[in-house]
């Protein structure tokens, strides 16, 4: 009888230890992505908004913080028959990351989504327009070193009043896809 009780005690201890280890691994896995997405990523890729004459290259620095917020600054260089143009942009976002590494972006108002404009001689950004969104999702590699960010299918964006958030005009259909690597 004493041997059976000892076997039962050993079995219960092994079962309890297995449960604690499984919970610890699951907990560590849930938090893994928040740790690996901390930092700055340099991205570059293709962007097209509006008609076929508004296609170009986008470069940006995305900054991710542990609290689920982030920001980006960059340039869009559009190519056209007349030579093209260049605009700077800024955006602030909230993000979540699934355990598979899929990043979901949200752009709460204020300030809304992407702000397009120019920097003045003093380095102050002057937004010419504010959109109600930007890229919707992306992926981060398991080691946290590479990232992709994209719209997926064409996304409908509206130009909004930066003070009220009300639509001024739109929609403008955009497709953007960028990839990059951790720089900090």
Domain locations in the chain as residue ranges: 37-182
d(CA 28, CA 50): 44
Question: Which of 16-20, 37-41, 55-59, 150-154 is least confident?
Answer: 16-20
List, for residues 69-125, the tens digit of each pLDDT value: 999 999 988 877 777 888 899 999 999 999 899 999 999 887 778 888 888 889 888
**What gap in Å lies between CA 25 and CA 29, rounded to an integer?**
6
Q: Which of 22-26, 62-66, 123-127 has the lowest mean pLDDT?
A: 22-26
* C-alpha 181 chain-centroid distance: 13
- pLDDT band for position 127 (50/70/90)? confident
Q: Beta-carbon neighbour count of residue 56 at 10 Å? A: 18
**Alpha-helical runs (H) found in the chain:** 2-36
Average pLDDT of the residues in 1-21: 45
CA distance 78 to 59: 12
**Rounded distance, CA 146 to CA 36, Å?**
10
The pLDDT tens digits for 137-149 are 999 999 999 999 9
For the domain 37-182, what is the CATH code?
Answer: 2.40.160.20
State the CB neighbour count (10 A cutoff) for residue 120: 9
In this prediction, residues 127-142 reach a mean pLDDT of 88
């Amino acid at each position: 009888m004493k041997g059976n009780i000892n076997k039962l005690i050993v079995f219960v201890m092994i079962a309890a230890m297995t449960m604690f280890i499984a919970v610890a691994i699951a907990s560590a896995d849930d938090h893994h992505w928040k740790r690996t997405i901390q930092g700055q990523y340099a991205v570059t890729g293709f962007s097209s908004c509006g008609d076929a004459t508004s296609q170009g290259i986008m470069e940006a620095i995305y900054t991710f913080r542990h609290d689920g917020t982030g920001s980006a600054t960059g340039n869009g260089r559009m190519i056209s028959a007349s030579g093209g143009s260049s605009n700077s942009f800024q955006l602030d976002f909230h993000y979540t990351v699934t355990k598979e590494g899929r990043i979901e972006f949200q752009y709460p108002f204020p300030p809304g989504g992407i702000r397009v404009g120019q920097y003045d001689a003093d380095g102050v950004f002057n937004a010419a327009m504010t959109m109600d969104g930007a890229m919707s999702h992306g992926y981060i590699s398991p080691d946290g070193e590479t990232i992709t960010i994209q719209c997926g299918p064409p996304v409908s964006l509206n130009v909004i009043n930066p003070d009220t958030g009300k639509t001024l005009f739109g929609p403008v259909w955009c497709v953007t896809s960028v990839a990059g690597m951790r720089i900090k």
